[in-house]
Amino acid sequence: MLSTRQERILFKVVDDYLRTGQPVASRSIASDPHLDCGPSTVRNELALLEEYGLLAHPHVSAGRLPTDAGHRYVVDRMLSSGLGLQPARPRLDLSLVRREVEEAVRTATQMLSQVTNLLAVVSAPSLNAASVRRVEVLALQPQVVLIVIITSTGGVSKMLATFERPVDPGLVTWAEEYLNERLVGLGLGSRMLHQRLLDPGLAASETAFLQRFVPAFNELCSSEGEEELYVEGTARLFSTGQIQDTSEVNELINMLERRVVLLRVLREALAEPGVYVRIGQENEIPAMRSLAVVATGYGMAGRKLGTVSVIGPVRMDYACAIATVRDAAGELSRFVEDTYAEN
């Protein structure tokens, strides 16, 4: 445990380093009016913090840099106390987004990157073990019918079918009632799905009508188990100069190209009960050891469906990152709950 003075000095070093990207000199810290001690005491405390492994001293004449452990200490204190973790502005508002989870996730990813100036990565709900939640059959025109299939995890499949003759409105109404009665609750990978979709006992006209919409169900079934990733902010992260080291740039690019690496990180985050924070060498994946990741899960009550995360340099604004990731996850959870939660 650090003393109050040592914590204040460590926070000052981290804050100044975040703002300038340069080693922080002891005279800059000693000039802080909130510290009730002289330069000699500051230098002594800095030496102790360095001995504890929280600060590094790259050159004799240079100031101090926070180590991964120093960043970790500050992050843990923020998470335990809640200090500085105010929701980001502008808040993420998905109320005007079309009622499909994919569109909401895409919007959240874009706004997350804009607010933090970091790389935002959000995973859409996997269709693994998903079931049919609702089916809607709508006559848009006398000869054009739309089918919308919604899964328990928010997946949506749509299909338009155009017929040679006007469709009987009674057939459209029957089809919606039939499909909901027969298919709701069935898993997408269930063999019974297609058996119930085209029952041999149906009339020829009913079978022919339903047959036109089989591809919509096939599309969802073929996507079963796949997790879609939305990534935003790569150019912004580089253009703001937050990552300048060539090796860090190469590692980040390689990680983005290797989808399996990102999925592994997000799955680890999904298993974390709170906010997942890994700083530098704390990351098990070599490509991430010069970076930091802040992530948390979102979904419905009792079931996480996806992960919201930001990735960037170790020198990131963790307070902003944590607050914004939490905010985005909360908004997506409310969106999913309001739109697709079972009654």
pLDDT digits (tens, 9 = 90+) for 61-80: 678 999 999 999 999 998 88
- The pLDDT assigned to 210 comes to 92
Give the residue among 33, 100, 23 at the shortest CA–CA distance from 67: 23
- The pLDDT assigned to 31 comes to 87
Mean pLDDT (whole number) for 140-146: 94
- The pLDDT assigned to 192 comes to 66
- The pLDDT assigned to 321 comes to 93
Which amino acid would we find at residue 217? Answer: F
Residue 95 pLDDT > 80: no
156: Cβ–Cβ under 8 A, 6 or more apart, which residues? 100, 101, 102, 148, 149, 150
Listed in sequence order, the DSSP H helices in the chain are 4-20, 26-30, 39-51, 68-81, 101-116, 169-183, 192-197, 204-211, 214-222, 234-239, 246-257, 259-270, 318-340
Please give the residue that has the higher pLDDT: either 271 or 9.
9
In order of their start, the domains of the chain are: 4-66 (1.10.10.10), 101-126+227-340 (3.30.450.40), 132-222 (3.30.390.10)
- The pLDDT assigned to 284 comes to 86
pLDDT single digits (tens) 254-274: 777 777 778 888 888 888 888
Euclidean distance between CA atoms 52 and 273, whole angstroms: 29
- The pLDDT assigned to 312 comes to 87
Can you tell me whether residue 189 is helix, strand or coil?
A: coil
pLDDT band of residue 147 (cuts 50, 70, 90) is very high
- The pLDDT assigned to 157 comes to 81
Main-chain dihedrals φ then ψ at residue 307, nearest 5 degrees: -130, 140
Mean pLDDT (whole number) for 146-157: 81
Least confident of 167-171, 225-229, 298-302: 225-229
Residues in the chain: 343
Half-sphere exposure of 278 toward its Cβ, with a 13 Å CA cutoff?
A: 21
Please give the residue that has the higher pLDDT: either 79 or 236.
79
pLDDT band of residue 242 (cuts 50, 70, 90) is low
Mean pLDDT (whole number) for 146-163: 84
- The pLDDT assigned to 243 comes to 63
Mean pLDDT (whole number) for 173-187: 90
Give the residue among 226, 202, 231 at the shortest CA–CA distance from 151: 226
- The pLDDT assigned to 228 comes to 77
**pTM of this structure:** 0.68
Euclidean distance between CA atoms 268 and 154, whole angstroms: 22
